[in-house]
Amino acid sequence: MAKRKRIFSLKKQITAVFVGIMAFSMLAIWFMTRFFLEDFYVANKQKALYGVYNTIKAECEHGDLSSDAFDLTMQMISGTHNVSIVIISSLFEPIKIYASEPREQLMQELGENLRGAVLVKNVYEENDDYVLVMKNDSRMKTDFLEMWGNLPNGSFFLLRTAVESIKNSADIANRFILMVGVIAMLVSAVVIYFITRRISRPILQLANISEKMSEMDFETKYNGKERTEIAILGHSINKMSENLENTISELKEANLELKRDNDLKTEIDEMRTEFISNVSHELKTPIALIQGYAEGLKENVSDAEDRDYYCDVIIDEAGKMNDMVKKLMALNQIESGFDALDIKRFDIVELVSNYVQSAELLAKRNDIKVNVMKSEPVYVWADEYKIEEVIMNYFSNAVNHCFAEDGEKRIDVSFEKSENVVKTEVFNTGLPIPEDSIKHIWEKFYKVDKARTREYGGSGVGLSIVKAIMNSHNQQCGVLNREDGVAFWFTLDCSDR
C-alpha cells in the first residue's frame, strides 16, 4: 500500500497567514513609532510655532496686541499646543507673556537668545526675522523647540515648547502597542481558526467526495446549501459523479456485449437446432393428452363428470404448454443475445428481501420457514430484472423440493462477499440431488424426478434460464448437496471498476 502523503491543514495555513500578517503589521507599527514618531511630533510642533508666529505678525501689522481678542487667541494657542509666548518691546519691557513658566526666566531666555549666548542642538531655520532651533535647557534638563526674532513693530518675541515628553510618550506607546498586539494576535488566531474551520469544512467534504470517486464510489454527494463558489464546485462534482457512474455502467454493459459477441455467431445455429429438437420432444406428451381427451369429448362421453375431467385435463395441459412456450421464448432471447442487458448498480440484499416478502404467502401455504441472512447493503453490477428472475427460479425450485422428515421445512438465503464478487445462496431442506444428475440439471428439459416435476407443473426450463442469465453476465452459478438439503448459488460482480 502506497504511503499517504502528508496533508497540511488548510485551517492551519490560513490561520498562520493571518497571524503572520497581523504580526508583521504590529511590528511595522512599532518600528514606525519607535523611529519616526519623535520626528513627526517635532514637525507638528514646528508647524504650531509657525502658526503662532504668523498670527502675532499679522496682529502687529493690522491690529492691536493689547486687544481682548488677541489675548483670547494667544491663551487658546498656548493652552492647546503647550507653547510659552513672550512678546517684549525694544526696551525689553514685557508686552505679552502667555506661559506657565516664570516670567523672569523667559525674559532671561529671550535675552540670551538675542545675544547669541546659547548653545543649540539643531538649527532648523534662520533668517532676518526669526530663528527656529532645538536646544537643551540645562536648568530643567529638557529639550525645547524655540523660535525667536523681530516683529514688524520693532518688538521681540520668544516661542518655546518642550519636546522631551514625546520620547516618554513614544516608549509608552510602543509598550502599549506591543502588549495590545500580542493579545490581538492570540484572540485573532482563535477567531480565525474557527472561521477558517467553517470555511474549510465544505472543501474537506469535496476532497472526501473526490477521494471516494477515485475509488469508484459514487454514493456520497455534496449537500451544502450555501451560495458560494465552493457550493457551485460541489454541485458540479455531483453532476460529474452521476455522469461517471452512468458512463461506467454503459462501459460495463458494452464490455459484456463484446464478450458475448465473440461466441455468439458459432452458438446461434447449435442453439436453434437444439431448441427445435427439445421443444418437439417436450410437446409430444401434452399434445397427445390433449388429442386423446379431445377425441373422448368428440365421442360424446356420456358421464358429465368425465366430460368435466376431460376439459380440466385439456385446460391444464394447455396451460403448461403455454407456460413452457413463454419460458422457451425467454430462454431463446437470452441465449441468442437479442435480450440486451440493462446493467445498473443496485443492492442485492434489498432485492432478495423484497422478493421473499412478496412470496411469503407461497411459503406459508407449504409450511416452510424462510430465513434471509440480512446484512449491510451489498451493491452489485447487473441487470436487476434478470437477477430477480434468477432468484424467483431458485426460490420456486426450493419451495417445490423442500422436505423434512423430523424437523421443520426451511429455506435459508445468505450472502458472502469476497474481493470483487458477491455469492448469493438459496438453501432448502430436502433430499440431495443424485451426483450423476448434478451436471445435467442446467440443461433444458432435464428433470431429476419426472413424476414429481410433472406433479407441480415444472417444465425443466427454469434452471436453464438461470444458467443463460448468469452466462450473459459472465458470472457463475452452481449447486451443492448439504447434509440436510440442497443449496443453489450464483455470483455477481461487486467491484468498483
pLDDT confidence band for 56 (50 / 70 / 90): confident
Strand partners, 148: 131, 158
Sign of torsion over alpha carbons 126, 129, 134, 137: positive
Cell of residue 490, nine digits: 450464483
Q: How far apart are CA 231 and CA 281, in angstroms?
A: 66
pLDDT in tens, 4-37: 454 556 667 777 777 788 778 878 877 777 777 7
The backbone torsions φ and ψ at residue 403, rounded to the nearest 5 degrees and listed phi first, read -155, 145
The CA distance from 92 to 114, in Å, is: 11
Which whole number is the average pLDDT over 267-273? 63
- Give the domain ranges of the chain: 10-169, 253-493
Contact in structure between 354 and 397 (CB atoms under 8 Å): no
- DSSP-derived 3-state class of residue 312: helix
pTM: 0.41
Task: Note the pLDDT of residue 452.
Answer: 46
pLDDT of residue 335: 66
pLDDT of residue 102: 79
- Indicate the range of 170-174, 260-264, 360-364, 449-453 predicted with least confidence: 449-453
CA neighbor of 339 nearest in space, from 330, 347, 348: 330
Side chain identity at 225, as an amino acid letter? Answer: K
CA angle 43, 45, 47 (to 5 degrees): 70
Residue 454, pLDDT > 90, answer no
**Highest mean pLDDT pick, 110-124, 125-139, 215-229, 441-455:** 125-139
Q: Which three cell numbers stand for residue 315?
A: 385446460
CATH of domain 253-493: 3.30.565.10
Cell of 496: 468498483
Per-residue b or e along 420-451, where b marks 16 or more CB atoms closer than 10 Å to that residue's CB: eebbbbbbbbbeebeeeebeebbebebbbeee
Between CA 397 and CA 466 the distance in angstroms is: 11
Q: What average pLDDT does range 437-454 have in this prediction?
A: 68
* CATH, range 10-169: 3.30.450
Confidence bin at 2 (pLDDT 50/70/90): very low
In the predicted model, what is the mean pLDDT of residues 371-394?
Answer: 89
Q: Please report the pLDDT score of residue 1 as a whole number.
A: 42
| Whether pLDDT at 70 is above 90 | no
